Structure 1
Amino acid sequence: MFSTFSTAFSHLSSVVVDEVRTDGGGIALAARTATREAACPDCGAVSGRVHGGYRRRLADLAAAGQEVVIDLLVRRFLCPAAECGRRTFVEQVDGLTERFARRTPLLRRSLEKIALALAGRPGARLAAHLSIPTSANSLLRLVRRLPDKHVSAAPRVLGVDDFALKKGHVYGTIILDMETGERVDVLPDRTAETLTAWLRAHPGAEIVCRDRASAYAEAVRTACPDAIQVADRFHLWKNLCEAVEKCVVTHRSCLAEPIEDAPADATVGHEDAAVQEEVPGRPEGMRVIRRRERHAAVHALYDKGVPIQAISDTLGLDRKTVRRYAHAATPEDASLGTGSRRYGQIHAYSPYLHRRWNEGCTDAARLHAEIVELGFTGSKRTVRRHLQEIRASGKPAPDKPKTLTVRTATWLITSHPDNLDESSTLKLKKLLSRSPELDAVAACVRSFAAMMTERRGSDLESWLASAEGTGMKPLQSLARGLRQDFDAVTAGLTWEWSSGKVEGNVNRAKRIKRDGYGRAGFDLLRLQILLAD
Structure 2
Amino acid sequence: MTVEEVVVDDGVMTFSARTATRLAVCPGCGTVSGRVHGGYRRRLADVAVSGHRTVIDLLVRRFICPTQECDRRTFVEQVDGLTERFARRTASLHRTLEKIALALAGRPAARLAAHLSIPTSPNSLLRLLRKLPDEPVGTAPRVLGVDDFAFKKGHVYGTIILDMETGERVDVLPDRTAETLTAWLRAHPGAEIVCRDRASAYAEAVRTACPDATQVADRFHIWKNLCEAVEKCVLAHRACLTEPTEAPGSVAPNAEDSGTDLPVPAGLEGLRAVQRRERHAAVHALFGKGVGISAIAEALGLDRKTVRRYAHAAAPEDLPVGTGKRGNRVQPYLGFLHQRWNEGYTDAVRLCGEIRTLGYRGSERTVRRHLQTLRASGQTAPTVGQELTVRQATRLLTSHPDHLDENGTLQLKDLLARCPELDGVADCVRAFAEMMTERRGQDLADWLEQAKATGFPSLSSLARGLRQDFEAVTGIKRDGYGRAGFDLLRLQILHAD
> What TM-score comes out, normalization by structure 1 length?
0.72
Q: Deviations over 1:2-42 (max 9, x none)?
A: xxxxxxxxxx3xxxx3833436352433314744675363x
Match of 1:321 in 2: 309
Gaps of 5+ in 1: 1-11, 267-279, 514-521
AA of the residue aligned to 1:429: K
1:215 to 201, 212, 221: 201
Aligned length: 471
AA of the residue aligned to 1:321: R
Match of 1:71 in 2: 58
Once the 2 structures are TM-superposed, how far is the Cα of residue 135 of structure 1 from its aligned partner? 3.6
Match of 2:463 in 1: 479
- Sort the Cα spacing of 1:250 and 1:309 in 2 relative to 1 into closer, same or farther, 3 A: farther
- Distance, in Å, in 1 between the alignment partners of 2:264 and 2:91 is 78
1:6-405 alignment runs, 5 A limit: 12=1, 17=2, 19-22=4-7, 24=9, 25-32=12-19, 34-35=21-22, 39=26, 41=28, 52-61=38-47, 67-75=54-62, 77=64, 81=68, 88-93=73-78, 95=80, 96-124=82-110, 127-128=113-114, 132-257=118-243, 293=275, 295-300=277-282, 302=284, 312=293, 315-316=296-297, 317-318=304-305, 320-323=308-311, 327-329=315-317, 333-336=320-323, 343=327, 345-350=329-334, 372=356, 375-378=359-362, 399=382, 402=385, 404-405=387-388
Q: Is the partner of 1:334 in helix, strand or coil?
A: coil
Once the 2 structures are TM-superposed, how far is the Cα of residue 408 of structure 1 from its aligned partner? 3.5
Once the 2 structures are TM-superposed, how far is the Cα of residue 149 of structure 1 from its aligned partner? 2.9
Once the 2 structures are TM-superposed, how far is the Cα of residue 467 of structure 1 from its aligned partner? 0.8
Match of 1:3 in 2: none
Once the 2 structures are TM-superposed, how far is the Cα of residue 349 of structure 1 from its aligned partner? 3.9
Match of 2:493 in 1: 529
Q: Given that residues 45 and 90 in structure 2 are in contact (C-alpha distance below 8 angstroms), is that contact kept between their aligned partners in structure 1? A: yes
- Sort the Cα spacing of 1:305 and 1:473 in 2 relative to 1 into closer, same or farther, 3 A: farther
Q: Given that residues 318 and 458 in structure 2 are in contact (C-alpha distance below 8 angstroms), is that contact kept between their aligned partners in structure 1? A: no
Match of 1:270 in 2: none
Once the 2 structures are TM-superposed, how far is the Cα of residue 479 of structure 1 from its aligned partner? 1.0
Q: Given that residues 57 and 71 in structure 1 are in contact (C-alpha distance below 8 angstroms), is that contact kept between their aligned partners in structure 2? A: yes
Once the 2 structures are TM-superposed, how far is the Cα of residue 464 of structure 1 from its aligned partner? 0.5
Once the 2 structures are TM-superposed, how far is the Cα of residue 397 of structure 1 from its aligned partner? 11
2:400 to 416, 421, 437: 416
Once the 2 structures are TM-superposed, how far is the Cα of residue 299 of structure 1 from its aligned partner? 2.9
- Distance, in Å, in 2 between the alignment partners of 1:299 and 1:121 is 47
Q: Is the partner of 1:28 in helix, strand or coil?
A: strand
AA of the residue aligned to 2:58: D
Match of 2:260 in 1: none
User: Once superposed, what is the RMSD of the aligned Cα atoms?
Assistant: 4.7
1:461 pairs with 2:445: yes
1:438 pairs with 2:426: no
Q: Is the partner of 2:385 in helix, strand or coil?
A: coil
Q: Given that residues 191 and 215 in structure 1 are in contact (C-alpha distance below 8 angstroms), is that contact kept between their aligned partners in structure 2? A: yes
* Identical residues among aligned pairs (%): 58
Q: Is the partner of 2:487 in helix, strand or coil?
A: helix
- Sort the Cα spacing of 1:240 and 1:415 in 2 relative to 1 into closer, same or farther, 3 A: same
Match of 1:274 in 2: none
- Distance, in Å, in 1 between the alignment partners of 2:223 and 2:355 is 39
- Distance, in Å, in 1 between the alignment partners of 2:242 and 2:8 is 79
Higher helix share: 1
Q: Is the partner of 1:151 in helix, strand or coil?
A: coil
- Sort the Cα spacing of 1:294 and 1:365 in 2 relative to 1 into closer, same or farther, 3 A: farther
Once the 2 structures are TM-superposed, how far is the Cα of residue 152 of structure 1 from its aligned partner? 0.8
Q: Deviations over 1:268-327 (max 9, x none)?
A: xxxxxxxxxxxx999x99xx999975652223565x797597684762344742257654
> What TM-score comes out, normalization by structure 2 length?
0.76
AA of the residue aligned to 2:309: T
Gaps of 5+ in 2: 252-262, 298-303
- Distance, in Å, in 1 between the alignment partners of 2:417 and 2:331 is 25
